[in-house]
Structure 1
Amino acid sequence: MVGTPGRVLDLMRRKVLKLDCVEWLVLDEADEMLNMGFIDDIETILQTVPEQRHTVLFSATMPNDIKKIASFYMQEDYQHIQIKAKTMTASTVSQYYFETKLNRRFEVLCRILDSREMDNAIIFCKTKRSVDEVVAAMQQKHYNVEAMHGDLSQNQRMNTLKRFKKGQIQYLVATDVAARGIDVDNISHVINYELPQEEELYIHRIGRTGRANKKGKLIQLSHLVKRIS
C-alpha cells in the first residue's frame, strides 16, 4: 500500500487497514516525514507495524538532525547509502552574492527584487518564524508573495504551490523542508535570505532553478561580520 500518513491513519481508525503483517516500511521524502508535523502520525503507524520488519528511508537530503531522528526508528545495524553526484551544481545556474549588514538585509532584498527582472523566485529562510516575518514585511510593501512551511496544512501548501505554478504568485518564501515538494521547471531565481546549516541543503536550493536546460540565477545575501583586529 502507498499512502500519506494521514490517509493511512484514517483507514486504520476505520479498521479498513491492518498493518500487522507488514514486512517492509518505506518513507519517501524522509526528512519531510520526520520534520513537517508528520512525526506523531509516523510514530502511531510504527506502533502498529511489526518490530521485525525492513525499514527504508529515501531522501534527497539528510541533515544531521534528521539522521539522529531516523536512527531512532531503525535497527542498530542500519546503513546510510549516499549516491555521489557527478556535479555539485548545474552549469545553467549563475550565482551571485551581496554583502549587507544584518539589520539592512530586508532592505537589500527589496532593492534586488525591484532592480532585477524576475519571472518568479523562491526566497529561502532557515525557520518558519523567519518565513512569516519576511512574508509579512513583503506584503506590507505590496509584493505578490506567499509562505510555504510546515505549519501550513497540506491543502494550504498544495493550493499555494498550484497558484505559484500558474504564475499567480511571483515570490514564494519557504523553509528547506517545505521546498522539497516544489517541482516547478521555470523558476527564474532562487534567493538565500538566510544560509542553510547543511551543505547539501544549499545544493538542493540551487537545484530549484536552472532546470530542464533553462537558465537560472542564485542570489545569496551574506551579512557583514565585524572583524576585530
Structure 2
Amino acid sequence: MNYIIIVAGGKGLRMGGEIPKQFLPVAGKPVLMRTIERFHEYDSDMGIILVLPHDQHEYWQQLCREHDFHIAHTIVDGGSTRFESSKNGLSAIPTDAEGLAGIHDGVRPFVSLETIERCYEAAEEEYAAIPVMPVIDTLRYVDSHEGGHNVQRSDYRIVQTPQVFDIALLRQAFNQPYRDSFTDDASVVESLGCNVAIVEGNRENIKLTTPYDLMVAESLVRN
C-alpha cells in the first residue's frame, strides 16, 4: 500500500488574513480539500495522512462537515519545523507497512495526475523521486561586493512536490537528528548518501503563498 503525507502548517501571514492559507477557498472549496481530492483521484486506495497544527484540527473538521467532505484521511499534529511535521506524518504509517510514501505541500492543489504517477513510478524503481521544472527566468548570483553575476539557468531546476520515497528508506532518513541543511524532504534522504531521481513536474503545480497566487488558482479552476 502506498501513502501520501500532506503537510499543511501555514499560518496565512503572507496572504494578509487570519485564515491559514490551506483553508482559503478557491472557487468555493478550501485549498486543502482540492489537494486531497487530487491524490484520491490518482489512487482511491492510497493512505492519506494530513499534518495540521493541533489548534487547527477542530476548524478543519468543521470545514469537512460544511462541505460534506468524506474522503478518508488520518490527521496528525504538525511540528515546529517541516522536518518535524514530516516525521510526525511518517509516524502515522503502520510500522510493518511496505511500499512508497510521498510528502506533499498542502497548498499545491494543482499537481497533475501525470506528475503524481511519474513520481511514484520512479520511486518504485529508484527508491526516491522528486518532480522538477526548468527555470525560465534569468538567474543572478548576488555577492556582497561586486553586485553578483548571472548563472546558467540550464544548470538549475525548480523543485516541487510530491517527493516520494521507499517507506523503509524514509524512516531511516527521519531517524536522524535535524540539521539546518534539511531544506526539503529530499535533502533529508540525500544526507544518507542516496541518489534522488528527478522527473518532470507540471507548471500549474504552484505553491499558493500570496494573494496573487490565489488569483492564479481561481483562473486555473475556471479553465
Structure (1 or 2) with the greater strand fraction: 2
If the length of structure 1 is used for normalisation, what is the TM-score? 0.30
Of structures 1 and 2, the larger Rg is shown by 1
